Structure 1
Amino acid sequence: MANSKALGTGGRKSDKDLKIRVKTAKGRKVASTKWLERQLNDPYVARARAEGYRSRAAFKIKEMDEKHKFFKKGMRVVDLGAAPGGWSQVAAQAVGSTIANPLVVGIDYLDMDPVPGVILFKKDFTEDDAPQMLIEAMGGHGVDVVMSDMAWPTTGHRPTDHLRIVHLIEIAAEFAIQVLNPGGVFIAKVFQGGTEHELLHMLKRHFKTTIHVKPPSSRKDSAEAYLVAKGFNGGRSAEGE
C-alpha cells in the first residue's frame, strides 16, 4: 500500500512554503524581481487570468459595485484611464453593453486591445479636446457612471505625486459634473494623503454621499483607495438650492 506521504496526504507544506520565489536574473533589478514574485503569488492575478479579465484591477470595480450597487442594465458609463481594459470589461458586462449598442466609452493614452461592447480611444484625457470626444461618442446621451483609474507615473516625491493625482481627480470630477445624469455616480482613484478639502467640499455640494473605499483586492501595502460619490444632484450646488 502506498504511504500517505506518497499520496500527498501527509507532510503537507504550508502556504508559506508553497510560495513561488523568483531568483534575480542577470540584468533584472531587485524591484522588478519582487514585482514578478508578487504577481506570480497573487490570487487575483490568477483569477483574472482564469475569468478572462485584462488585469487584477477588474476585481476592484467588481467589489465596489457589489457593495455600493452603481451599475444597472442600460446605464451609460465612461472609463477614464481605461488601459488595459479590465474596468471597461466589468462595466460592459454589468450594463449589458454590446457591439450593436455600445454603452461604455473608455479612454487612455496607452494601447488597448478591443473590448466587446466598448468604444475605446487612444488619447490623453488631459488634452483639451478629449472630453468632447467622449461626449460625442455617447451620442449626446447623459452618463450614469464616470469612473477614473487614472494615475500619473510616480516621481518618488510624495507631495508632488499627491498634487498630481489630485489634479487628475479634479479634471475627472469636472467632466463628471458636466455629463452625469441626475443620480449618477463618480468613482476615482486616490492615494494616501486623502482628497484635498476643497475638492471634497465641491463633490459634497454635487453628490448626496461621498466616501472613501479600499476594496479587498486593493493590496494592503498599497497607498491607493477609491473615492465614490453617489447621487449626483444634476449640477445644482448646495448654495443654489
Structure 2
Amino acid sequence: MKTNTKSKKVNKAWLNDHVNDTYVKLARKEGYRARAAYKLKEIDEALGLIRPGQLVVDLGAAPGAWSQYLRRRFAPAKAGSGGAAVGELDGTIIALDLAELEPIEGVRFIQGDFHEPATLAELQAALGGRAVDVVVSDMAPNLSGIAASDSARMALLIELALEFALINLKPTGALVCKVFHGSGHSQLVELFKKSFRVVKPIKPKASRDKSAETFLVGIGPKKR
C-alpha cells in the first residue's frame, strides 16, 4: 500500500508548529480548551466589549474556549486575577454549536444547526425576550477544498450571524464575527458598514500569520 509522504510531512510540520505554539502552551497553562480564547481576549481588550452583567451569545462555541473567556470576564473581582472557571457568575452566556460542548458551569448550551429554524427558535426562547449585549461568532463551515463553494458557505454563516445580531442586539450592542480574506471579503465589509455605526476589522496576534482568518467587529446596529 502506498503512503502519501508529502501529506505526512505536512501533518508532522503542523503538529510541530502546534505543539510549540506560544498560545497553545499558554492555553494549557491557564486552563483554556483552545488557543482561540486569546483571539477574543485581544479583541475585547482592544475595544472593551465584554463587561460583567451582560448577556452574550456565543455562536460556533465548541470546544468552548470563547465561553470560558466570557465566563472568566463575568467572574467577580474577588475570584482573583483572570476570574474563575467555576463559582459565582455575574452575567449570562448562551452558547450554540452543531457539535457537542463539554459543559461549562453557568453556560447554557444549545446543540443544533444555526441554519435550522428550530435551532433559532430554541435560541430565541433561551433569550426570553431580552436584548443581547454582545454576539460573538467563531462559526466556520466544514471546508470542502473548493474555494468558491467554501467562500459561499462561510458568507452564508456570517450573514445569518449578522441577521441574528441585528434582530437581537441592544442599540449599543456589538457583533464579533470570524471572516476569511478572499472572494467576497470586501462585500462582507461593506455589509457590516451598512449594518453598524462603527466597524473594526481586527487580525489578532493569536490568529496565525499563515491563516486567512480575520475578524470583523460591528458596534451599534443600525435599524434594519
* TM-score bin (small chain): 0.7 to 0.9
Q: 1:207 to 1:95 in 2, by over 3 A?
A: farther
State whether residues 99 and 116 of structure 1, in contact with CA within 8 Å, keep that contact through their aligned partners in structure 2: no
Name structure 2 gaps, 5 residues minimum.
Answer: 77-86
| Alignment counterpart, residue 127 of structure 2, candidates 130, 138, 149 | 138
The one-letter amino acid of 1:184's match is G
- In structure 2, what is the Cα distance between the partners aligned to 1:70 and 1:100? 17
1:38 pairs with 9, 17, 29, which one? 17
Match of 1:114, SS state, is coil
The alpha-carbon deviation at position 101 of structure 1 amounts to 6.8
Q: After superposition, give the CA deviation of every residue in 1:53-91 in whole Å (9 maximum; x if it has no partner).
A: 110000000000000111111110001100000001111
* TM-score scaled by length of structure 2: 0.85
Q: What amino acid is aligned across from residue 37 of structure 1 in structure 2?
A: N
Q: 2:203 aligns with which of 197, 203, 214?
A: 214
Please list, as runs of the form range in 1=range in 2, the aligned pairs for 1:185-200 lying within 5 A after superposition.
Answer: 185-193=174-182, 196-200=185-189
Task: Give the Cα–Cα distance (whole angstroms) in 1 for the partners of residues 21 and 187 of structure 2.
Answer: 37
Structure 2 match to 1:47:
26
Provide the residue aligned with 2:57 in structure 1: 78
Partner of 1:226: 215
Further displaced range: 107-116 or 190-199 = 190-199
Instruction: Identify the match of residue 194 of structure 2 among 177, 189, 205.
Output: 205
For 1:73 and 1:103, how far apart are their aligned partners in 2? Answer: 9
Partner of 2:99: 110
Tell me how far apart the structure 1 counterparts of residues 16 and 135 of structure 2 sit (CA, whole Å). Answer: 33
User: Displacement, 1:206?
Assistant: 2.9
Asked if 1:69 corresponds to 2:48, the answer is yes
Match of 1:58 among 27, 37, 44: 37
> Partner of 1:217: helix, strand, or coil?
coil
Partner of 1:9: none
TM-score, normalised with respect to structure 1: 0.80
Take 2:147 and 2:200, find their aligned partners in 1: how far apart are those partners? 23
Unaligned runs of 5+ in 1: 1-25
Q: Which has the larger radius of gyration?
A: 1
Higher mean alpha-carbon deviation, 33-42 vs 166-175, is at 33-42
In the TM superposition, residue 92 of structure 1 has moved relative to its aligned partner by 1.9
Instruction: After superposition, give the CA deviation of every residue in 1:134-177 in whole Å (9 maximum; x if it has no partner).
Output: 12112221101111101112222222221111111001100111
SS of residue matched to 2:204: coil
User: What percent identity do the matched residue pairs reach?
Assistant: 40
Aligned AA (1:33): K
Residue 164 of structure 2 corresponds to 175
CA distance change for structure 1 residues 187 and 168 in 2, over 3 Å: closer, same or farther? same
